[in-house]
Amino acid sequence: MDHRRKRNAEGAGPLAQAGEVSRRAMVAGTVAMTAVAAVLPLADTAYAENAEGPDADMMAFLLLSEALTGVSRQTLAPELVESKNKSDILNSDPGVDPINIKDEYFAWIKANDATSSFGKLLQIAKDNHQSLANIVPSVNDSADDMKFLARSIVLLWYLGSWYKPDDLKNKIAKPQVVSPKAYTQGLVWQIAGAHPMGYSNLQFGYWSRDPRDPNRPALFDPAKT
Amino acid sequence: MADTCITCDVAIVGSGFAGSLIANQLSKKGIKVVILEAGPGIQPNINDAMARFYAASAKVPESPYPPDLADDPATVRVGRPTALTLSQSTWQNTSVAYLDQNTDDPNRKTRPFKSTYERLAGGTSHWMGLTPRLVPNDFQMKKAYGAGQPDFPFLDWPISYDTVSPWYEKAEAELGVSADADEQRFAGITFSTPNYAYPMPRIPPSLFDQRVGKAVAQLTEAETQFLGTAAPVTGLRVRSLPAARNSQPYRNRRACAGNTSCIPICPIQAKYDATITLNEATNNGVQLIDHAVASELLVENGSISGINYIKYDEKSGSRVDCAIKAKVYVVAANGIETPRLLLMSRNQIATGIANSSDMVGRNLMDHPQYLTWGLLPDPVFPYRGPLVTSAIGDLCDGAFRSQRAAFRISLGNEAWSATVGGTGGDPQTTTLDFINGLNASGLNKKDFTQLADNSALFGVDLTKTLGGLISRQFRIAFSVEQSPDPDNRVTLSSVKDALNLPRPRIAYDISDYTKRGIVTAFRMKELIFSKLGAIDFTKVAETDPGKFNVDGIEVPLTYGGAGHIMGTYRMGDDPKTSVVNSWLQSHDHPNLYLVGSGTFPSVGTANPTLTLSALALRTTDKIVDVLPSYQ
Query: pLDDT tens for residues B416-457?
Result: 998 876 556 899 999 999 999 988 898 987 555 556 655 679
Give the DSSP letter of residue B85: G
Tell if the CB–CB gap between B258 and A206 is shorter than 8 Å: yes
Digit-coded pLDDT (tens) for B544-561: 999 999 998 999 999 999
A92 - beta bridge partners? none
Digit-coded pLDDT (tens) for B528-545: 999 999 999 999 988 899
In chain A, residues with a C-beta closer than 8 Å to the C-beta of B417 are 197
Give the model's pLDDT for residue A212: 83
Does the pLDDT at position B401 exceed 80?
yes
Mean pLDDT of chain B: 93
Of B59, B440, B471, the CB nearest to A192: B471
Tell if the CB–CB gap between B463 and A69 is shorter than 8 Å: yes
Digit-coded pLDDT (tens) for B150-203: 999 999 999 999 999 999 999 999 999 999 999 999 999 999 999 999 999 999
Burial of B290 (0-12, 13-18, 19+ CB in 10 A): middle
Q: Which of B208, B209, B230 is nearest to B221 (CA)?
A: B230
Q: Which of B586, B318, B424 is nearest to A176 (CA)?
A: B424
Amino acid occupying residue B222: A
Give the model's pLDDT for residue B43: 83
Q: Are B119 and B38 in contact (CB under 8 A)?
A: yes
* Mode of pairing for the β-strands spanning B407-412 and B33-36: unpaired
To the nearest whole angstrom, how far is the Cα of B532 from the nearest Cα of chain A? 18
Tell if the CB–CB gap between B55 and A179 is shorter than 8 Å: yes
**Better-scored residue on pLDDT, B46 or B518:** B518
Question: Which B positions 237-266 lie with beta carbon below 8 A of chain A?
Answer: 247-248, 255-261, 265
Residue B131 burial (CB count, 10 A) = 29
In chain A, residues with a C-beta closer than 8 Å to the C-beta of B418 are none
CA B197 to chain centroid: 26
Q: Say if B125 is an interface residue toward chain A (CB within 8 Å).
A: no
* Mode of pairing for the β-strands spanning B388-392 and B407-412: antiparallel
Give the model's pLDDT for residue B501: 98
Chain A CA closest to residue B269: A198
Of A70, A173, A222, the CB nearest to B459: A70
To the nearest whole angstrom, how far is the Cα of B230 from the nearest Cα of chain A? 33
Give the model's pLDDT for residue A225: 40
What does the alpha-carbon distance between residue B339 and residue B46 come to, in Å, rounded to a whole number?
31
Give the model's pLDDT for residue B106: 76
- Find all residues with CB under 8 Å of B223, minimum gap 6, and list them: B527
Q: Are B81 and B508 in contact (CB under 8 A)?
A: no
What does the alpha-carbon distance between residue B600 and residue B592 come to, in Å, rounded to a whole number?
17
In chain B, residues with a C-beta closer than 8 Å to the C-beta of A198 are 50, 53-54, 59, 259-261, 265, 267
Please state the ipTM of this predicted complex. Answer: 0.93
Chain B CA closest to residue A133: B459
Digit-coded pLDDT (tens) for A22-38: 333 333 332 333 333 33
What does the alpha-carbon distance between residue B276 and residue B254 come to, in Å, rounded to a whole number?
13
Does the pLDDT at position B494 exceed 70?
yes
Of A168, A200, A223, the CB nearest to B260: A200
Q: Is the peptide bond preceding residue B67 cis, with omega within 30 degrees of 0?
A: yes
DSSP conformation letters of B256-291: P---S-TTT--TT--B--HHHHHHHHHHTT-EEE-S
Digit-coded pLDDT (tens) for B353-382: 999 999 999 999 999 999 999 999 999 999
Q: Give the residue from A208, A219, A221, A225 with the most B CB atoms within 10 Å of its CB, the best one to mutate.
A: A208
Digit-coded pLDDT (tens) for A51-102: 567 899 999 999 999 999 999 999 999 999 999 888 899 999 999 999 999 9
Number of helices (H), then strands (E), in chain B = 11, 17
Of A163, A171, A194, the CB nearest to B382: A194
- Find all residues with CB under 8 Å of B291, minimum gap 6, and list them: B37, B38, B39, B40, B41, B311, B312, B313, B314
What does the alpha-carbon distance between residue B189 and residue B170 come to, in Å, rounded to a whole number?
16
To the nearest whole angstrom, how far is the Cα of B307 from the nearest Cα of chain A? 40
Q: Rounded mean pLDDT of B98-112?
A: 85
Chain A CA closest to residue B262: A198
Question: Which B positions 388-417 lie with beta carbon below 8 A of chain A?
Answer: 389, 413-414, 417
Q: Which of B588, B31, B36, B33 is nearest to B303 (CA)?
A: B588
To the nearest whole angstrom, how far is the Cα of A132 from the nearest Cα of chain B? 11
